[in-house]
Amino acid sequence: MSSEFLLEIGTEELPASFVRHALRSMKTSAAELVGQARLETDSLQMDTLGTPRRLALRLRGLAERQPDRDETIMGPPWSAAFEADGSAKKAATGFAKKHRVDVEDLRKQTTDKGDYVSVRVHETGQATREVLGEMLPRLCQRISFPKSMRWGPGEIAFGRPIHWIVSLLGSEVVDFEFAGIRAGRKTRGHRFLAPDSFDLDQASSYESALERAHVIVDIQVRKDRMVEGLLASAKSLGGVLEPDAFLADECVSLVEEPFTVPGQFDESFLELPDAVVISVMRDHQRYFAVRASEGGALLPSYLNVVNTAEDPETIAKGNDRVLRARLADGRFFVEEDRKAPLADRLTKLESVVFQSKLGTMGAKVRRLQANARALAMRSGANADACDEAARLCKADLETLIVYEFPELQGEMGRWYALREGIDPAVADAIRDHYRPQGADDQVPDQVIGAIVAVADRIDTLVGCFGIGLVPSGSADPFALRRAALGIIRIALEGPIDVDLQALIAQAYQAYRGDAKLGAAEEVRASLDDFFRGRIRAMLKDSAGGDVVDACLGAWDGTSLRDLRSRIEAVAELGAAPEFESLAVAFKRAFNITKESARGPIDSTLLEAGAETTLAERFDTVRDQIREATDERRYTDAMKLVATELGAPIDRFFEEVFVMVDDARVRDNRLRLLGEIADTVNGIAHFHQLGTKLQRRDPSVSA
Amino acid sequence: MTFQELILALERFWAERGCLIVQPYNSEVGAGTFNPHTFLRAIGPEPWNVAYVEPSRRPTDGRYGENPNRLQQFHQYQVILKPSPLDIQELYLESLRALGTDPQHHDIRFIEDDWESPTLGAWGLGWQVWLDGLEISQFTYFQQCGGIDCKPISGELTYGLERIAMYLQDVDDVYELQWAPGIRYGDIYKRAEWEWSTYNFEQADTDLQKSLFAEYEKQVAQLLGLSEKKGKGGALVFDREPLERLALPAYDAVIKCSHYFNVLDARGAISVTERQRYIGRVRILARAVAESWYAQREALGFPLLKTSAAAE
């Protein structure tokens, strides 16, 4: 077992995202380079450690030395290297010289492409320390950041200026140079609490030595300690910590050793909405909020994670002052905002541009009202309430508080609306129409919010597609993918179904007079395509890409819940043992009848046995299958298909040859299979299920 | 420590560390960065260490003298160290000690804050510096200026003087600051804040500002011989040799354009799309000046390189 290796790069304060990004790239590169250098062992362990001022990599269980290597190196084609009589040409002598062997040592290697010159070389492994010395400059160069900068003479780019490098294998320095800095054993402690540099005697004492110098290098350990401190402080304030994962990650990345300093603010600020108080504390100052109990009222206190706490009173006093000014600003904004009702902002929205070719926010709001009304009619919701919620949903964008705290949009609209005595269901919808904000966010759980949410997103989608602003690659400035996904999720998880075709048509119609969009059919077709792509991306992991494709193929592009029923039905049947043979049979039926004409089946032409059985069975269940399909009872339809047609169609393909010479018999047979295929295709396109079958059992070929 | 003692302490501190102490610029600027001692000197290979106070105008931040923290004109203390020395953070922390603030007893943190001036075609990476939760300075490593990559890199330190003074004097209202013994900040500036806020938000003649913008824009082109046609890859084309261009008067005209744009913006006289266009127009001018300045210094053989070599 060899000793431990440590690399520490000391820098000026790196942003949180930089540390995460850099450590990830360090680990990936190290794994690759260590592998290439043949220093890997089964017990190799790689860890990264970091603070705002240092990036560190620890390798345990490196090979003690690089193993020797015998390698066959391929050279030029034999004919290019040797004359027919076996005498060496220039290519052969050159190749031998390059690898420091004699021409006699060259061998002939026969490959698919002909004969080649090859040579076996023996390479003696180097000591690990030497190998590392060569490897480390490359490793450092490969560390990447979201943004790099240059400093001083401007020659080197890195996340922030580099000040020192520690590179120790056991107790010995692995010598190398990067960014003009020679690696050594000198590290530094906490910027303020242990500012002097000091020597590390060996790699394995890194964590403990740094801890004595007030630096906790392991991010998780530092975070645990920070959270412990926060919980204890909250408790001593007589409350509980408001959990905030984002803030915790942020704060732990701003300190080398975490301390908690509690502070206070005037109780009168608690008349502000909680969201405002929390936003002021969190977004501007990175303070944690404290509640009386879990989900209870806020306490007029906060918890501040700091890097030094030699003089907590001074620190608290300074922070209290800053927070007081910020909260006073917040109170001023809310008081100003409340001087006029929300609806008064609608005139201001008339001069705010939504998108230069799509007109103002005022016009957008009017379209939202029309869209919301149409959706309400369709889902049997209260149309007036939906209209009102749509009318007011963007009004808070023109309030001072939302101008200052954009993340409170919706939340503040709701709060102001409730205080104006507006119907709470409408007020909730003002907040909820922004949901879902992302993949982890919930969809609106009430009808009005869901309707306005859909009305808003489809307006953006139709407008942008109508003027050719279609997402491409990673460019999606209007977040259209997210908007489409929002609509799909609302229909599948929320309180209303959505008829996409009708919705697109309605939203297109609403633009009349506001903007000049592309032709209705083009917009519809490209959006239909876009939605199908989103649906596929969203459901392929849970349902399987081929199942989604098969159902998308049969789906008419209207009800999203209808699509889901199909997917569920196919997935349910897919779990049954008879599914595979069934799928194979219907796939054959489809493929064989793709080009053939449809028409009535002539029972007199049917051959006795398998063909007649299939035809008769199909005749008895066809209407039931079609009825179940029409009524969107896809599971029932699938069951009928499986139980009634499964065995007969299998037997048919085993016993009956379709493409017989007698054209009348053959065409009749194709008409029978064609009708069966069409009936089943009404549920899902079985012929698109091929890949899934192969994945399940490679021996089955369709 | 009064406001003026704060300024004097910083002047002394940075003078002792080899900075030239120069004076604020005599035109309307939004930040110390606009002063040619920063914007132009950050370009090119010549070393440059300088410090100065800059009264900075932010028309949209005016609050008629009614907000205890917001002003349409505030004071920055600007330091440029070019090339940025490796101990620049330590120098900065020492300067806080010179103001009587021992970093040991406070919570001082460097919080990521990248800087970009779209009108100047300039950007850099760096931090805001927090003192017990209060942002007191900005710290930037310039990466680009007037569209030109900086090399060497300038380190820029900008102290927000009002904020630091409020902290040091323990007052919550900027107008209560002691500028000098017996004279408060409000005695000097409260009325000015009201007048300028009224001007910027209500009374500035927008037609006048728009035409001044256009006239000064023309002036820049004329002083530099900036051609309307573009070269390969959008390169600027000049009809005058570098040393025949008047880069400094042209830069003053750029500052004017930027200022009139800010006033128009505060007046709400510019739509969102127009806004982008105005910014683009100033950026082109700033770039033309930056390129001209560089070409001139090059034509002169980068004189300060020789001076610093001789000094060593």
Does residue B164 carry a pLDDT above 70? yes
Dump the DSSP string for A142-166: T---SS-B--TTS---BSS-EEEEE
Q: What is the pLDDT of residue A24?
A: 96
Site from B107, B125, B153, B168 to mutate, A interface, most A CB atoms within 10 angstroms: B107
- Could you tell me if A317 and A258 are in contact, meaning their C-beta atoms sit under 8 angstroms apart? no
When mean pLDDT is compared across A400-409, A460-469, A500-509, B87-96, the lowest value belongs to: A400-409
Q: Is residue A33 part of a domain?
A: yes
The answer to whether B143 contacts chain A (CB < 8 Å) is yes
- How many residue contacts between A and B have a Cβ separation below 8 Å? 108
Contact A152 B85 (CB under 8 A): yes
pLDDT tier, A691 (very low <50, low <70, confident <90, very high otherwise): very low
Does residue A47 carry a pLDDT above 80? yes
pLDDT digits (tens, 9 = 90+) for A17-34: 999 999 999 999 999 999
Does residue B298 carry a pLDDT above 80? yes
Q: What is the pLDDT of residue A542?
A: 85
Q: What is the pLDDT of residue A1?
A: 46
- Nearest alpha-carbon partner for A3 in A56, A47, A59: A59
Q: What is the pLDDT of residue A185?
A: 97
Residues of A contacting chain B (CB within 8 angstroms): 12-13, 15-16, 18, 52, 147, 149-154, 160-161, 163, 192, 254-255, 261, 285, 304, 306-311, 314-315, 317-319, 321-325, 328-329, 353, 356
Q: What is the pLDDT of residue A690?
A: 59
A164 and A60 belong to one structural domain: yes
Name the residue among A151, A310, A318 with its Cβ closest to that of B134: A318
Q: Is residue A554 part of a domain?
A: no
Q: With beta carbons under 8 A apart, name residues in chain A contacting B127.
A: 13
Contact A285 B133 (CB under 8 A): yes
Contact B150 A154 (CB under 8 A): yes
A510 and A410 belong to one structural domain: yes
Q: Are strands A298-306 and A287-291 parallel, antiparallel or unpaired?
A: antiparallel
Rounded to the nearest integer, the mean pLDDT of chain B is 94
pLDDT digits (tens, 9 = 90+) for A583-609: 888 888 888 898 888 888 888 888 888
Work out the minimum CA distance from B110 to partner chain A, whole angstroms. Answer: 6
Residue of chain A whose alpha carbon sits nearest to that of B126: A160
Q: What domain range includes position A103? A: 69-123
For residue A377, give both structure tokens: 């009619």
A46 and A176 belong to one structural domain: yes
pLDDT digits (tens, 9 = 90+) for A243-282: 999 999 999 999 999 999 999 999 999 999 999 999 999 9
Residue of chain A whose alpha carbon sits nearest to that of B69: A325
Collapsed DSSP state (helix, strand, coil) of residue A365: helix
pLDDT digits (tens, 9 = 90+) for B65-106: 988 888 999 999 999 999 999 999 999 999 999 999 998 899
Name the residue among B86, B112, B141 with its Cβ closest to that of A163: B86
Work out the minimum CA distance from B221 to partner chain A, whole angstroms. Answer: 30
Residue of chain B whose alpha carbon sits nearest to that of A194: B104
When mean pLDDT is compared across A168-177, A255-264, B47-56, B272-281, the lowest value belongs to: B272-281
Work out the minimum CA distance from A259 to partner chain B, whole angstroms. Answer: 10
In chain B the domains, ranked by start, together with CATH numbers, are 3-200 (3.30.930.10), 204-305 (1.20.58.180)
Q: Is residue A344 part of a domain?
A: no
pLDDT digits (tens, 9 = 90+) for A412-429: 999 999 999 999 999 999
Q: Is residue A79 part of a domain?
A: yes
A274 and A399 belong to one structural domain: no
Last residue of a domain, one of A212, A239, A272: A212
Contact B104 A310 (CB under 8 A): yes
Q: What is the pLDDT of residue A73?
A: 86
Own/partner contacts of A324-327, CB < 8 Å, gap of 24 or more, are A324/A265, A324/A266, A324/B172, A325/B68, A325/B69, A325/B172, A326/A280, A326/A284, A326/A285, A327/A265, A327/A266, A327/A269, A327/A272, A327/A277, A327/A280
Does residue B11 carry a pLDDT above 70? yes
A94 and A201 belong to one structural domain: no
pLDDT digits (tens, 9 = 90+) for A293-344: 998 999 999 999 999 889 999 999 999 999 998 998 899 899 989 999 999 9
The separation between CA A682 and the C-alpha centre of its own chain, rounded to angstroms, equals 34
A690 and A608 belong to one structural domain: yes
C-alpha to C-alpha distance for A524 and B137, rounded to whole angstroms: 53
When mean pLDDT is compared across A66-70, A293-297, B14-18, B94-98, the lowest value belongs to: A66-70
Does residue A495 carry a pLDDT above 80? yes
Element (H, E) at A6: strand A5-11
pLDDT digits (tens, 9 = 90+) for B254-297: 999 999 999 998 887 887 668 888 999 999 999 999 999 999 99
Work out the minimum CA distance from B62 to partner chain A, whole angstroms. Answer: 14
Q: Is residue A294 part of a domain?
A: yes
Q: With beta carbons under 8 A apart, name residues in chain A contacting B131.
A: 318
- Could you tell me if B153 and B143 are in contact, meaning their C-beta atoms sit under 8 angstroms apart? yes
- Could you tell me if A353 and A361 are in contact, meaning their C-beta atoms sit under 8 angstroms apart? yes
Last residue of a domain, one of A543, A577, A604: A543
Rounded to the nearest integer, the mean pLDDT of chain A is 92
A692 and A604 belong to one structural domain: yes
C-alpha to C-alpha distance for B223 and A616, rounded to whole angstroms: 95
A118 and A16 belong to one structural domain: no
Mean pLDDT of A456-480: 91
A504 and A385 belong to one structural domain: yes
- Domain CATH for A687: 1.10.730
Contact A192 B127 (CB under 8 A): no
pLDDT digits (tens, 9 = 90+) for A371-397: 999 999 999 999 999 999 999 999 999
Site from A53, A147, A192, A336 to mutate, B interface, most B CB atoms within 10 angstroms: A192
Mean pLDDT of A524-546: 92
The answer to whether B105 contacts chain A (CB < 8 Å) is yes
- Label residue A600 exposed, middle or buried (CB < 10 Å: 0-12, 13-18, 19+): exposed
Q: Is residue A555 part of a domain?
A: no
- Nearest alpha-carbon partner for A672 in A627, A587, A605: A605
Contact A309 B273 (CB under 8 A): no
Residues 5-64 of B with CB under 8 A from A: none
Q: What is the pLDDT of residue A2?
A: 60
Q: What is the pLDDT of residue A123?
A: 81
Q: Is residue A348 part of a domain?
A: no
Q: What is the pLDDT of residue A695?
A: 38
Does residue A694 carry a pLDDT above 70? no
- Could you tell me if A39 and A131 are in contact, meaning their C-beta atoms sit under 8 angstroms apart? yes
Does residue A692 carry a pLDDT above 60? no
Q: Is residue A243 part of a domain?
A: yes
Contact B107 A306 (CB under 8 A): yes
Last residue of a domain, one of A513, A543, A573: A543
Dump the DSSP string for chain B: --HHHHHHHHHHHHHHTT-EE----SS--SSGGGSHHHHTTTSSS--EEEEEEEEEE-GGG--TT-SSS--SEEEEEEEEEESPPTTHHHHHHHHHHHTT--GGGS-EEEEE--EEETTTTEEEEEEEEEETTEEEEEEEEEEEETTEEPSSPPEEEEEEHHHHHHHHHT-S-GGG-EEETTEEHHHHHHHHHHHHHHIIIIIS-HHHHHHHHHHHHHHHHHHHTEEEEE-GGG-EEESS-GGGS-HHHHHHHHHHHHHHHHHHHHTT-S-HHHHHHHHHHHHHHHHHHHHHHHHHHHHTT-HHHHHHHHH-
Contact B153 A154 (CB under 8 A): yes
Q: What is the pLDDT of residue B69?
A: 87
Contact A310 B105 (CB under 8 A): yes
Name the residue among B84, B133, B273 with its Cβ closest to that of A319: B133
- Domain CATH for A444: 1.10.3210
* Structural domain count of chain A: 5
- Could you tell me if B177 and B188 are in contact, meaning their C-beta atoms sit under 8 angstroms apart? no
A245 and A312 belong to one structural domain: yes
Does residue A475 carry a pLDDT above 50? yes
Work out the minimum CA distance from B273 to partner chain A, whole angstroms. Answer: 8
The answer to whether B85 contacts chain A (CB < 8 Å) is yes
Work out the minimum CA distance from A579 to partner chain B, whole angstroms. Answer: 58
Element (H, E) at A186: strand A186-188
A628 and A650 belong to one structural domain: yes
A415 and A511 belong to one structural domain: yes
- Could you tell me if B275 and B268 are in contact, meaning their C-beta atoms sit under 8 angstroms apart? no
Q: With beta carbons under 8 A apart, name residues in chain B contacting A150.
A: 141, 143, 150-151, 153
The answer to whether B305 contacts chain A (CB < 8 Å) is no
